[in-house]
Structure 1
Amino acid sequence: MAGLNKGTPTPTEIKLHQQSRLLDISFSDGKTFQFSCEFLRVHSPSAEVRGHSPGQEILQAGKKNVNIKQIEPVGNYAIQLNFTDGHNTGLYSWDLLYRYGLHQDEMWQHYLQRMEQVGASREPIVGKCNN
């Protein structure tokens, strides 16, 4: 994932709305995408989520209320998102974020279908105690 494709627009503004858990990204070609923190968390490009090869993806459940607590720039080609659930290993390149923006609706529907297929919930598990 090193570097950028030559034609990829670059962000002109990245704005986090912590209260509504939304991240707005405006690109140099005029397109603006709004991502929920949950969407970015469950589609993290990290090996922890994607696995190390196709078919090894790990479905992320219980992330409905996750938020981003910090955004760190990585060179001039990506950002690292630090989530409130402790996840922070995914590097979100401009290419990836732009592609996510273009395909967000299909990606989200696919995620919801997978969750339904396995009977998983977007709701966090609260107060899990086995005593």
Structure 2
Amino acid sequence: MPQSPNDQPTPQSLTVHEQSRVLEVMFSDGAQFRIPFELLRVYSPSAEVQGHGPGQEVLQTGKRQVTLVQLEPVGHYAVRPTFSDGHDSGIYTWAYLYELGRDQQQLMREYERRLAEAGADRDAPMAGRAASGGHGCGSR
């Protein structure tokens, strides 16, 4: 039986752990995740990271040490983090946070595979293209 949107688990608590650089999220279904800031940053749902369609994703590098400097609520359905590298345009819905938490090991393996294919490194700063500002959604 398919779940209605109202049956989606919602966060009961969000805790920012600065020293270990993880966001701890406890959901209404009992699931608890500790999502690394790096994973949140490299999988930001923003157009700056995801692009405007399949195949337009921008590989993020140099994000291992990123921190979370602010976490703002967006209505009753999401949060918008501000990261120490200035990125603040991603809106993370409860469903997306759940997905990141649930799938974080697989997503991290995929990220490391993409880095290897690009000959890049988790700690290396991003080369030219989007590192110096990139393009917002309205630039097309």
TM-score by length of 2: 0.84
CA displacement at 1:5 relative to structure 2: 2.2
Distance 1:45 1:34 in 2: 18
1:1-131 matches, cutoff 5 A = 5-125=5-125
| Deviation of 1:50 (Å) | 0.1
CA offsets 1:8-48 (integer angstroms, 9 cap, x no match): 10000100011111110000010001111000000000000
- Residue 41 of structure 2: SS of its match in structure 1? helix
| 2:134 match | none
**Paired residue total:** 122
Q: Percent identity over the alignment?
A: 47
1:7 Cα offset (Å): 2.0
Q: Which amino acid aligns with 2:44?
A: S
Structure with greater helix percent: 2
The residue type equivalent to 1:24 in the other structure is E
In structure 2, how many angstroms separate the alpha carbons of the residues matched to 1:120 and 1:27?
A: 35
Question: Counterpart of 2:133?
Answer: none
Q: 1:124 Cα shift?
A: 4.4
Runs (4 or more) in structure 1 with deviation over 3 Å come to none
How many angstroms does 1:66 deviate by?
0.3
Instruction: Pick which of 4-13 and 26-35 moved more.
Output: 4-13
Shift of 1:101: 1.5
The AA in structure 2 aligned to 1:123 is D
Could you tell me which amino acid in structure 1 is paired with residue 17 of structure 2?
A: H
